């Protein structure tokens, strides 16, 4: 069932919650792929009802062309969800149902998590994400909400927003889903040629090799090594490769015992911006 109005959906989930039912929310921007479907299946296993939101959120795009080009495939998305044969409600609002006439982002204090990596490359992006996710939580009243680790920085930021607002929702991180060649699934992959989808396995292979190298080299040495590899590539343009503390996303200068680290990469291939990361 597709809801386009928050009022109708909100009354329904409110009455379900009053009956003691749990609600799992999977927020998406549509163009669903197996990565999203894995989140929806997990949500269906752990909750009585699942809500999938499909909304290309304007306030998180800092580039108008990117917003315009973003794939919108509602009918195909609804079919993929129907094929799962699960109890799933779809919320696919127009911009006005979410924002009214004020299409602006709330300003958040994410404690610096938004000042690195994607935050530097895409100013204002995380305020837009925080704004829409907070609004969705208020509309859908989820018991649990599911987010993929491909957008690891987003996941930490949403956890921080939930701590700050005190909204009663458990954030469930879900592992990155990859195609057979190792390319992290993303709606943007639809913009790649078939040949590039095969070639782009190079990104994941580099991450795996960097992880291995991290065992015997410093973060700076691993970063320099990855940068050299990409400098020799003509099909890929490296925007950044960085190793950070996995909990606060601060750039790792040395390895300290007891800390968890993660490597993050952003690469352009055929003009498409691809992101990936790996636990080290």
Give the separation between CA 252 and CA 223, rounded to whole angstroms.
10
Tell the smallest beta-carbon distance from residue 182 to ligand PAF (Å).
21
Cβ atoms of residues 267 and 274 within 8 Å: yes
Could you give the 3-state DSSP secondary structure of residue 110?
coil
User: Distance between CA atoms of 168 and 186, rounded to whole angstroms?
Assistant: 29
Q: How far is the CB of 173 from ligand PAF (least distance, A)?
A: 13
Is 10 part of the annotated catalytic residue set?
A: no
Is residue 29 within the footprint of ligand PAF (CB under 6 A)?
Answer: yes
The stretch among 129-137, 178-186, 236-244, 266-274 that binds ligand PAF (CB under 6 A) is 129-137
Tell me whether strands 236-245 and 261-269 are parallel, antiparallel or unpaired: antiparallel
Question: Is residue 149 a contact point for ligand PAF (CB under 6 A)?
Answer: no
How many angstroms separate the first and last alpha carbons of the chain? 41
Stretch that binds ligand PAF, among 23-31, 67-75, 89-97, 205-213 (CB under 6 A): 23-31
Task: Looking at the chain, list the stretches that DSSP marks H as alpha helix, in order from N- to C-terminal side.
Answer: 6-18, 34-46, 64-69, 74-83, 95-99, 118-121, 125-140, 152-165, 194-199, 201-214, 219-231
The yes or no reply on residue 151 touching ligand PAF (CB under 6 A) is yes
- Is residue 139 within 8 A of residue 27, CB to CB? The reply is no
Residues 153-172 that bind ligand PAF (CB under 6 A): 154
Verify binding: residue 133, ligand PAF, rule CB under 6 A.
Answer: yes
Q: Is 59 in the site for ligand PAF (CB under 6 A)?
A: no
> Minimum distance between the CB of residue 71 and ligand PAF, rounded to whole angstroms?
12
Q: Does 40 bind ligand PAF (CB under 6 A)?
A: no
Side by side, the strands of the sheet bearing 272-279 are 236-245, 261-269, 272-279
Choosing from 36, 125, 217, 251, which is the catalytic residue?
36
Cβ distance to ligand PAF smaller for residue 26 or 280: 26
Within 13 Å, how many C-alpha atoms sit on residue 216's CB side?
4
Nearer to ligand PAF, 70 or 225 (CB): 70
Per CB under 6 A, 50 contacts ligand PAF: no
* Residue whose CB is less far from ligand PAF, 36 or 262: 36
**Residue 27: CB minimum distance to ligand PAF, A:** 4
Q: Judged by CB under 6 A, which stretch of 4-12, 21-29, 159-167, 172-180 contacts ligand PAF?
A: 21-29
267 backbone dihedrals φ, ψ, rounded to 5°: -135, 140
The yes or no reply on residue 129 touching ligand PAF (CB under 6 A) is yes
Alpha-carbon dihedral 224, 229, 232, 236, rounded to 10 degrees: -110
| Binding footprint of ligand PAF on the chain (CB under 6 A) | 27-29, 57, 60, 129, 132-133, 151, 154
Catalytic machinery residues: 36
């Amino acid at each position: 069932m597709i809801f386009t109005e928050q009022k109708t959906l909100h009354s329904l989930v409110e009455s379900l919650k009053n009956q003691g039912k749990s609600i799992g929310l999977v927020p998406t921007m549509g163009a669903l792929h197996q990565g999203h479907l894995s989140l929806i299946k997990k949500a269906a296993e752990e909750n009585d009802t699942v809500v999938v939101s499909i909304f290309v959120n304007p306030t998180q795009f800092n580039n108008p062309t990117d917003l315009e080009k973003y794939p919108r495939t509602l009918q195909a998305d609804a079919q993929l969800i129907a094929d799962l044969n699960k109890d799933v409600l779809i919320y696919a609002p127009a911009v006005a149902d979410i924002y009214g006439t004020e299409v602006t982002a709330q300003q958040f204090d994410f404690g610096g998590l938004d000042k690195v990596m994607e935050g530097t490359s895409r100013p204002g992006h995380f305020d837009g994400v925080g704004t829409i996710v907070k609004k969705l939580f208020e509309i859908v009243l989820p018991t649990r909400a599911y987010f993929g680790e491909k957008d690891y920085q987003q996941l930490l930021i949403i956890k921080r927003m939930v701590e700050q607002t005190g909204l009663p929702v458990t954030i469930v991180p879900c592992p990155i889903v990859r195609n057979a060649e190792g390319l992290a699934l993303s709606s943007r992959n639809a913009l790649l040629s078939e040949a590039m989808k095969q070639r782009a396995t190079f990104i994941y292979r580099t991450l795996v090799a960097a992880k291995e190298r991290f065992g015997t080299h410093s973060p700076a040495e691993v970063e320099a090594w990855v940068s050299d590899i990409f400098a020799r590539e003509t099909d890929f343009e490296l925007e950044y490769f960085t190793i950070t503390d996995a909990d606060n996303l601060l750039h790792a200068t040395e390895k300290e015992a007891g800390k968890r680290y993660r490597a993050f990469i952003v690469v352009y291939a055929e003009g498409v911006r691809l992101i990936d990361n790996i636990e080290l």
